[in-house]
Every structure is written in structure tokens, then in C-alpha cells.
Amino acid sequence: MSFPWAQEYKPQGTVSKWVDERLPLPRLVYNAVGAGYPVPRNLNYFWNFGVLAGVALMIQIVTGIVLAMHYYASVDGAFNSVEHIMRDVNAGWFLRYAHMNGASFFFIVVYIHIFRGLFYGSYKAPREMIWLLGVTIFLLMMATAFMGYVLPWGQMSFWGAQVITGFFSAIPLVGEPLRQWILGGFAPDQAALNRFFSLHFVLPFVIAGVIIMHVWALHIPGSSNPTGVSVKGEQDTVPFHPYYTAKDGFGLGIFLIFFVAVTFFAPNMLGHPDNYIPANPLSTPAHIVPEWYFLPFYAILKAFTVDFGIPFTGIILIEAKLMGVLAMFGSILLLFFLPWLDTSPVRSGHYRPLFRKFFWFGLIPCLVILTYCGAQPPYTQWVVLSQIAAAYYFAHFLIILPIVSRIERPLALPNSITEAVTGKPLQTAAA
Amino acid sequence: MSTVKNTNGVGKKPAKAPADPVAAALNADSATLDGIPVEDLRVAGDGGATPVRRRDFIHIATVSFAGVGAAAVAMPLVSQMSASADVLALASIEVDVAAIQPGQSIKTSWRKQPVFIRNLTPAEVEEANEVDVGSLRDPQTLADRTKPGKENWLITLGVCTHLGCVPLGAASGEVKGEYGGYFCPCHGSHYDTAARIRKGPAPTNLVVPEFAFISDTVVKIG
């Protein structure tokens, strides 16, 4: 693990030595996020977001545990217990708003973290496993966030649960029994609410476990960097502590400023007013929208309106509903194959002129459009726009990236990270 | 492991024999395990390319037994998720439909799901019957979906077959969609006056629950 020039942990005091010989946990921390982890010297602020995501998870776990002390998972009591937290529990309003917006900020930093990886080719060899674990974390986050959103048992909670569990009923033959098994009934009710609470509580700890593997896998090759050029020697790295603890600390301060600004001054900006109406199983809100972080995927789901079959025969191979659900899950599962779809040996988008154009003028606008369309009612113009954007999304990863990787002529790479940073050719390599 | 501080220092320390006695016994040809000579454990071990040992059988049997046990334990863990007895017990309801005028409809609740009971006008019945059934996504006639002699009573679940929203059109003033039946606001599925899917992502018609008229004005659902 790590580079040969990594600084070694040297316990000073008697107690540290005693602990190190029995349970070398301080040594593990030292090697993971301390001076014992050499990191490329040229990381920019986009490399803050992994640590920020970890902090966001901690905020969610801490606020979530205390909220669970006051929350009551029952169809009659859940909504009122949330109001009780908001009105009666000491500082309850703060804890709930922090948890509510913490989820949004967790997704914001994770999305930036993912886009960092997409642009700088962080998913490429030898870091494929880090990427695969990252996509797994993303899927677990989505499941956790969905179940958490159900817990207040407002209108959006209830109908979100109805729609999302409805995805499973699209599966041929086993779909409807599977949906009833997941819900524990014919519609979202007490059984579903209780189990969602249970799973919402445990999944963050599963996420924490996968994050440990994510970081473990990261520490085998070490962090990537904006040039995408591998570390060649000691002159290319600096110890994580104090260099990146300081840089991450600064980034964390900026992150927290935004987080508390929204939590204190616009706590409901990212939510839906409908969720302050108690759940009513007999009345769907006029316009069901998921939380903002699901909108691109929701737009892909809604983009499929026509059955897929053999033309002029009337034979339907895949129903529109199943297509939408498959496409929505496929849009995420696709990311698992990304390391093998993008075959260019050049990692960083800085040195890939064609890739960079498709990234900034293709993928990013496509996702912005999908996010926007996801929030719109199902009128023709939005459906057509999301169909075009969804088609581009899949084409980007399945067609454009493999072709670009083959035909693109990358720019000249610097010989080393040090050369890229100092502008001088590499002197004698220390190692 | 914890005492080895420098991974580069391999070779400085003399290699020690493994501390685990079982591993040591298995590594040594002439060793004994629990006092039984290893040779004696072989059934057909003399010179055979793949000696089958009694111990292999014990291993497989042990792991299989544990596997069956684990599967048996998994069964209650999986089945506890299914609808419980009290949920299944909400079997049937009776509804008096006498007050529903032609063109009107009501919403009621059965098995925690909304049910639409609609008294179709003669024009709506005619509209439903005029449709070429073969052209439908889920081909059914109005007669298939109603009781003989009571074709005006359309009783369906108020659950869109796409993703389970409650379609609009049952209450007065609600949008009925392009085909005059129901319209699901979530993803834009349009149902006609027989609650058949005509446009949008839903795969099938609104579900007709099991129901029967137990008198001229009382219907039993479920």
C-alpha cells in the first residue's frame, strides 16, 4: 500500500507504543489520512469533494440518530411526530432542517465528486475498483434517500413510495407479487413505513462500510490528479497531512457556509410544500415530483411513452412502462461499465480535446435538460425534450465515448506532475 | 503482524514455523491429526491421482447441512416481508350506489386502495362500444369489464397501472383526459370511458376488481 517513500508512523509516548503493538489503529489513520499517505502535489479543489461527502454522511448519521429518538414510525403518528420535532423538541427544527438539507448537500457534493471522476478519468486503470465501489455507494445513497423521504408520511412521501415501488411491478410475471412483498401490502401502509424506517436507519452504516472499501481501494494506487499522469517519484507528492488536511479543511469551511446558509435561511427551498400535507391514499397530488437529485433519472423514466415492439405486427416486446424502468436503472448501471467503455489511455480531460467538447457541450447540458424536464408535468414538449436528452445520455456513454477514445488525438502529456506544476523539465528522479 | 514494523525488512527475521498446529499438521506428510495418522483418513489414496478422503465427505456434508440450515432460517426472514394476516383480512366491502347519478362517480377505499365506481351516461357507454377493440393496447370490451345488464356501472381500482398514482376524473371538475375517462397526472396516461388505456405509459387498463351486485343498488367488492 502506498509509495515506498511514505512517512512511517513512529509512536512517541509509552502509551502510543503500547497501543500500536496491540491495535495499530492510530497507524491505520496515519497511513490513510495522515502524513503517511503521499498525495500528488497538484490536486485542485475538485479533489475536496470526497472528504466533503464523508463529512456529509457523518452529518446525516449524527442528525439522523437524534431524530430517530423523537420520530414515531406509524401511519397515524409519523406526520405528527415530525411536526412535534419541528415545534416542541428543543432545537428539533434545526436538527430536522439540517438532516433534510444535509441529504441535498450530500448529493450535491457526491455529484461534483462523480463529475470530477468523469472529467479527469478517475475511473480508469488502475482505479476501476474505486469507481465500481463509488457507483455502489451512489445506488445505496439513492435507496437511503428515497426511504428517508417516505418517513414524514406527507403527500409526497406517500406518493413517492407508491410510484417508486411501482417500478418493480413493471417486471414481467413476478413484478406485482414483488411489489406487494416490498410493501408488505397492496399499497404503502404501516408495514411499508416501518420497514423503510428500519432500512433507512441501517443503510447509512452499510454506506460507511462501502466507503471504507472505497478508500481502501483508493490507497492501493493512490489518488489520481488533474494531469492524469501517474506519480513518478517522491518529488511528485506531498504528505496528506498537513497539506491536504489544510486544503480539505478550507473547502469544508466553504461547504459549511453554504450548508448552514440554506439550512437557516431557506430550509424548504429544495423541498416540496406538498409534503407538509398529511398522506392521503385517495388523492394524488396534482404534480408528483421527486427530490431534485432524482430528477434526471425521473425524466428518463418519463421519456418512454411508446411500447417497443416489432413494427406493423402489433407484437409488443417490451412495454413502455418496463422500458422506462429499465432505462432509468440502466442509466445508473451503465456507469459500472464506464471503465471499459472509455478505452483512451489518457485519463485527464485536459489533454483530450474531443472528449472535453462532448463532456462540456454534450453530457453536462444533457443532464441539465434532464433535471429540468424531470420537474415538468408530462406535456408533449417536455416529453420530447427528455426523449432527446435521454437518447443523448445513452449515446454519450455507449457510442460517443468508445468512438472518441479511438479517433481522438490527445494533446502531449507532461512528463511528470512536477514538470506540469513547475514548468521545468524533470531533473534527476529521486527514486 | 503488528510487531513487524517495516515491510521492507523481510529476511531480517528468521522465518518461523506457522503457529497454527492444524496448518502444521496438514502441511506435514507424516503428521497426525487428533492422534489419527493422516494416511488412515484416505479411502482410496494409494497412488490415485485424486484421493478421496473420508474427511472430504465430512466437509461437504457439514457445509451442506449448514447451507440447508441457513436457507431454512432465510425463509421466515423473507416471508415476514409479505402482506401480514391483518392486511389480507381487509377482504371485501359493500357499497350502496343508489345515489350515484349517470355521469357521476365516487371514490371509495378497498384494501387500502382507491376504487372508482362510475355510473356511465348512455353517451359514454356508446363511446366505449364504438372503439375498435383490436386497436387497443389492452384489448377488452366494455362488456368484459362490467356485469351483464349493468354496463353503465364501471367499477375499477383507482390505481394507475403505470406506477400507481390515483388518476383524475372521478370527482366533479377533475380533468378526464383526452378520451373522457380518467387522466393520470403523474406521467400522463389517458383512459377512456371504459377505463381502458389509450395513451401514455401505462401498460394495461385500470384493474376491475372482483365485484357483484348483491341487490339492485348494493355492490360487493372483493
In a domain, A94, yes or no: yes
B-chain residue closest to A2, CA distance: B7
| B positions 42-61 inside 8 Å of A (CB) | none
Question: Radius of gyration (Cα) for chain A, nearest Å?
Answer: 24
Residue A135 Cα distances to A56, A228, A343, angstroms:
17, 21, 19
* Residue B187 in contact with partner chain A when CB distance is under 8 A: yes
User: A190 with A259, same domain?
Assistant: yes
In the sheet that holds B211-213, the strands lie side by side as: B93-96, B218-221, B211-213
At B61-116, the pLDDT tens digits run 999 999 999 999 999 899 999 988 888 887 788 889 888 888 888 888 888 889 99
Q: Which of B163, B168, B182 has the highest number of chain A CBs within 10 A, making it the mutation to test binding with A? A: B163
Cell 491495535 belongs to A23
How high is the pLDDT of residue A10?
Answer: 93
How high is the pLDDT of residue B117?
Answer: 92
Of A162, A180, A281, the CB nearest to B83: A180
Residue A23 with chain B: CB contacts under 8 Å: 2
Lookup: cell for B12: 531480517
pLDDT at A106 over 90: yes
Q: What are the backbone dihedrals phi and psi of residue A94, each rounded to the nearest 5 degrees, phi first?
A: -70, -45
In a domain, A301, yes or no: yes
- CATH number for B137: 2.102.10.10
User: A316 with A259, same domain?
Assistant: no
What share of chain A in percent tops pLDDT 90?
81
In a domain, B157, yes or no: yes
Q: Which residues of B are catalytic?
A: 187
Q: Which of A225, A205, A226, A253 minimizes the C-alpha distance to A51? A: A253
In the sheet that holds B113-119, the strands lie side by side as: B105-110, B113-119, B153-157
Domain that holds residue A244: 28-266
Of A163, A301, A379, the CB nearest to B164: A163
In a domain, B164, yes or no: yes
How high is the pLDDT of residue A166?
Answer: 85
At A224-240, the pLDDT tens digits run 999 999 999 999 999 99
Q: What is the three-class DSSP state of A373?
A: helix
Q: Which of A23, A162, A329 has the highest number of chain B CBs within 10 A, making it the mutation to test binding with B? A: A162
Interchain proximity A378–B186, CB inside 8 Å: yes
User: How many contacts, defined by CB atoms under 8 Å, are there between A and B?
Assistant: 111
Cell 432524482 belongs to A294
Interchain proximity A321–B202, CB inside 8 Å: yes
pLDDT tier at B53, thresholds 50, 70, 90? confident
In Å, how far is A18's CA from the nearest CA of chain B? Answer: 11
At A38-81, the pLDDT tens digits run 999 999 999 999 999 999 999 999 999 999 999 999 999 999 99
Residue A172 with chain B: CB contacts under 8 Å: none
Question: CB neighbours (10 Å) of residue A117?
Answer: 23
Q: Which of A71-80, A206-215, A302-311 has the lowest average pLDDT?
A: A302-311
In a domain, A81, yes or no: yes
Residue A189 with chain B: CB contacts under 8 Å: 87, 112
At A369-394, the pLDDT tens digits run 999 999 988 777 888 999 999 999 99
Q: Which of A70-79, B21-30, B45-54 has the lowest average pLDDT?
A: B21-30
What share of chain A in percent tops pLDDT 70?
96
Residue A185 with chain B: CB contacts under 8 Å: 83-84, 87, 111-112
ipTM of the complex: 0.71
Q: Compute the average pLDDT of residues A207-218.
A: 96
pLDDT at B140 over 60: yes
Residue B5 with chain A: CB contacts under 8 Å: 8
In Å, how far is B41's CA from the nearest CA of chain A? Answer: 40
User: B114 with B146, same domain?
Assistant: yes
pLDDT tier at A368, thresholds 50, 70, 90? very high
The more confidently predicted of residues A138 and A186 is A138
A-chain residue closest to B111, CA distance: A186
In a domain, B2, yes or no: no
Q: Compute the average pLDDT of residues A279-290.
A: 85
* Residue B206 in contact with partner chain A when CB distance is under 8 A: no
User: B97 with B173, same domain?
Assistant: yes
User: B128 with B193, same domain?
Assistant: yes
* Residue B74 in contact with partner chain A when CB distance is under 8 A: no
User: B206 with B136, same domain?
Assistant: yes
User: A371 with A237, same domain?
Assistant: no
Which of B20, B55, B79 is the last residue in one of the domains?
B79
- Whether A171 and A164 have beta carbons less than 8 Å apart is answered as no
User: A209 with A353, same domain?
Assistant: no
Q: Which of B2, B105, B162 has the highest number of chain A CBs within 10 A, making it the mutation to test binding with A? A: B162
Strand residues in A26-75 grouped as ranges (E): 38-40
Pairwise CA distance, residues A316 & B185, whole Å: 25
- Whether A263 and A271 have beta carbons less than 8 Å apart is answered as no
Pairwise CA distance, residues A162 & B146, whole Å: 27
Residue B87 with chain A: CB contacts under 8 Å: 184-186, 189, 191
Pairwise CA distance, residues A34 & A7, whole Å: 9
User: A323 with A249, same domain?
Assistant: no
- What is the identity of the amino acid at A420? A
User: B106 with B159, same domain?
Assistant: yes
Residue B111 with chain A: CB contacts under 8 Å: 185-187
Q: Which residues of A are catalytic?
A: 219, 223, 247-248, 291
Q: Which of A148, A428, A107 minimizes the C-alpha distance to A270? A: A107
In a domain, A171, yes or no: yes
User: A186 with A309, same domain?
Assistant: no
Lookup: cell for A353: 480535446
Domain that holds residue B153: 87-221
Looking at the DSSP bridge assignments, the partners of residue B19 are none
User: B98 with B192, same domain?
Assistant: yes
User: A312 with A244, same domain?
Assistant: no
User: B98 with B167, same domain?
Assistant: yes
In Å, how far is B192's CA from the nearest CA of chain A? Answer: 17
Q: Which of B4, B84, B175, B186 has the highest number of chain A CBs within 10 A, making it the mutation to test binding with A? A: B186
What share of chain B in percent tops pLDDT 90?
20
* Residue B4 in contact with partner chain A when CB distance is under 8 A: no
At B164-211, the pLDDT tens digits run 888 988 888 888 888 889 998 888 889 998 999 988 888 889 999 989
In a domain, B142, yes or no: yes
How high is the pLDDT of residue B27?
Answer: 52
pLDDT tier at B14, thresholds 50, 70, 90? very low
pLDDT at B8 over 50: no
- What is the identity of the amino acid at A67? L
User: B150 with B172, same domain?
Assistant: yes
Pairwise CA distance, residues B21 & B55, whole Å: 18
- Whether A240 and A34 have beta carbons less than 8 Å apart is answered as yes
Of B82, B112, B203, the CB nearest to A319: B203
Interchain proximity A169–B200, CB inside 8 Å: no
Residue B7 with chain A: CB contacts under 8 Å: none
Lookup: cell for A307: 411500447
| B positions 108-147 inside 8 Å of A (CB) | 109, 111-114, 137
* Residue B186 in contact with partner chain A when CB distance is under 8 A: yes
A-chain residue closest to B157, CA distance: A282
Cell 362490467 belongs to B146
Q: Work out how many domains chain A is built from and give that number.
A: 2
In Å, how far is A216's CA from the nearest CA of chain B? Answer: 18
A-chain residue closest to B79, CA distance: A181
Q: Which of A45-54, A255-264, B130-139, B153-162 has the lowest average pLDDT?
A: B130-139
Which range in A335-339, A415-419, B109-113, B117-121 is most confidently predicted, on average pLDDT?
A335-339
Interchain proximity A321–B163, CB inside 8 Å: yes
How high is the pLDDT of residue B161?
Answer: 87
pLDDT at A292 over 90: yes
Q: Work out how many domains chain B is built from and give that number.
A: 2
* Residue B3 in contact with partner chain A when CB distance is under 8 A: yes
B-chain residue closest to A305, CA distance: B201
In Å, how far is A1's CA from the nearest CA of chain B? Answer: 10
Which of B79, B97, B127 is the last residue in one of the domains?
B79
pLDDT tier at B10, thresholds 50, 70, 90? very low
